[in-house]
Structure 1
Amino acid sequence: MSELTYPSPEGLLVAGPEAGVLEIRLDRPDARNALSTPLLRGIVALLQQAAGDDAVRCVVLTGGDKVFAAGADLAEMASKDMQAVLLEERPQLFAAIGRFPKPVVGAVCGYALGGGCELVMHADIIIAGESAQFGQPEINLGIIPGAGGTQRLTHAVGKSLAMKMVLAGEFISAREALAAGLVAEVAADDACLARAHELARKIAGKAPLAVRLAKDAVLQSFETPLAAGMVLERRNFVVLAGTDDRNEGVRAFLEKRKPVWTGR
């Protein structure tokens, strides 16, 4: 049970933590869950709180039944000139989301476009509903993705498909996203969020330090050459050998019982 209380900042709904899982839901239906700067600030504040809460072991990030998020807040964007865009805090907010050390499971139904697609790509695992569509249509506004849409997307789906999505502004379906490696699973729309929670609870039931260092090692595979990544993996493996949870895991396996993790 968490000793912390989680507020619901404007444009967000928060549930939990329950069974180690905190749910953050985008809730600006009149704006198709457009990602305003205050909304991003709210997400960052919640994740910063969750990072220090031992009762939160995994986060589920979701949106509406018809729209996950249709992109940035264009009304906000229209008021900014080049200098204002250069100095805005949005890059730092997205970077802060990317630094969250605990696993994030995204649950997407409907449109995840522009900034919405970029936001959900910060999740470690994405479960897509059958209705999900992913796209980076910024080219239609005379701009390009600015929060990872040219970088994270290319890492996820490869050059050719990323080029089609970014240059032509075409969307891909949930099944296409699955085939390309952008999402981990496709579920019926009415089962998408439940499946995300099921997976999050499973992750939350694992040894917390092992989960954190496993996430770190996998993410570093995108940032470092293979040899350096192997060194990092081995370092994390050795560090875990000195934890109480590693000893408990081995004992529990040998004694044919369920391990009791302490996070130490």
Structure 2
Amino acid sequence: MAAYTSLAVDTDAADRLHIRLNRPDSKNAITQTMVDELHAVCAELEERPRVLILSGAGGVFASGADIGELRERRSGDALAGINSALFVRVAALPLPVIAAIDGWALGGGAELAYAADFRLATTSARIGNPEVSLGIVAAAGASWRLAELVGEPLAKEILLAGRILNAEEALAVRLVTEVHDADALIPAAHALADRIGAADPLALQFTKALMRAPRDAHPLADNEAQAVLFESEQKFARMTAFLERRTERTKR
């Protein structure tokens, strides 16, 4: 992959990509450069689908958009959807995305985490959207994704009243699904990627797409996906292996 200035890339495992937001001196604030580099990561994963793990350097996931850049943006920048277009692309990646949240995930950093399929956190995680205190709205997904994730009453507390969730609170409302000590976070993300990776990649891609499809697309979309999978080599190989294992168990 290309050399990046605001991201650190781990490609050790063939079935996943671990991207670390890597601007620790600014608490991984999201800049235009980081947005551009994350678009390049998305292009790579659209071309060669793998599980994506997102984390942050320096004990912080991402403190939000870079305020210095944000202050200079005008109406045309807002209409261009600089962050929102990226996060839509992240959410639409073919295979699951895991956000591993350590420390602060605020503003745009929280919205990036909301775009993931799974969110894991450390005990020090703090998640929220303080945009209205800066005279703007959470325009990169929080205004609609957050209500889907945690329900409208809590979303309003976060978006309108500035509530910051700690790890325990985020776990209680299932905004995150696991909480770990800091040194166990990335191993836990890889363990989750291992469980995902045990499944058929094409079945995973279809399942993720079906879960995002509008209600009126079902059941036709499900049937069409199943029609493709019913003819796949993986389906026959995996089901044959299952039947053979069951036969072996009954012989014992």
Please give the alpha-carbon distance, in whole angstroms, between the structure 2 residues aligned to 1:237 and 1:128: 34
Corresponding residue pairs, total = 246
Distance in 2 (CA, whole Å) between partners of 1:65 and 1:203 is 27
8 Å contact from structure 1 (residues 48, 100) kept in 2: no
The CA deviation string for residues 195-243 of structure 1, in whole angstroms up to 9 with x for no partner, is 00111122123211011111112223xxx23x53343233322321111
Aligned partners of 1:7 and 1:14 also within 8 Å: no
One-letter amino acid of the structure 1 residue matched with residue 109 of structure 2: G
Kindly state the Cα deviation for residue 66 of structure 1 after the two structures are TM-superposed: 2.3
Provide the rounded CA distance (Å) in 2 between the counterparts of 1:188 and 1:37: 31
Offset from partner CA, 1:126-185 (integer Å, 9 cap, x none): 111111111011011121101001111110000000000000111011121122121121
Distance in 2 (alpha carbons) for counterparts of 1:27 and 1:233: 39
Q: CA 1:88 to 1:121, structure 2 compared with 1: closer, same or farther past 3 Å?
A: closer
Counterpart in the other structure of 2:200: 207
Q: In the alignment, is residue 173 of structure 1 matched against residue 166 of structure 2?
A: yes
Q: Does structure 2 conserve the Cα–Cα contact (< 8 Å) formed by 1:67 and 1:109?
A: yes
Q: Distance in 2 between matches of 1:65 and 1:74?
A: 19
Cα distance, 1:85–1:177 mapped onto 2, change above 3 Å: same
CA distance in 1, matches of 2:42, 2:80: 23
- How far apart, in 2, do the equivalents of 1:12 and 1:208 lie? 26
Three-state SS of the structure 1 residue aligned to 2:54 is: strand
Is the partner of 1:256 in helix, strand or coil? helix
**Distance of 1:229 and 1:126 partners within structure 2:** 27
C-alpha contact (below 8 Å) 2:90/2:116 kept by paired residues: no
Q: Report the identity percentage.
A: 36
One-letter amino acid of the structure 2 residue matched with residue 218 of structure 1:
M
Structure 1, gaps ≥5 residues long: 1-5, 258-264
Report 1:1-264 matches (<5 A). Answer: 6-53=1-48, 57-87=50-80, 89-220=82-213, 224-225=214-215, 228-256=217-245
Which TM-score applies when normalising by structure 2?
Answer: 0.91
Structure 1 pair 120/40, CA: closer, same or farther in 2 (3 Å)?
same
Structure 1 stretches of 4+ with a deviation exceeding 6 A read none
Work out the CA distance in 2 between the residues paired with 1:46 and 1:172.
Answer: 29
Distance 1:7 1:205, change over 3 A: farther
Cα distance in 1 for residues equivalent to 2:77 and 2:50:
37
CA contact (8 A) 2:24 2:58 kept: no
3-state SS of 1:42 partner: helix
Partner Cα distance (2:220, 2:172) in 1: 31
CA contact (8 A) 2:7 2:19 kept: yes
- Secondary structure of the residue aligned to 1:14 is strand
Q: Does the residue aligned with 1:123 lie in a helix, a strand or coil?
A: coil
Amino acid at match of 2:129: Q
TM-score for the superposition, normalised by structure 1? 0.87
RMSD: 1.7
Distance 1:85 1:57, change over 3 A: closer
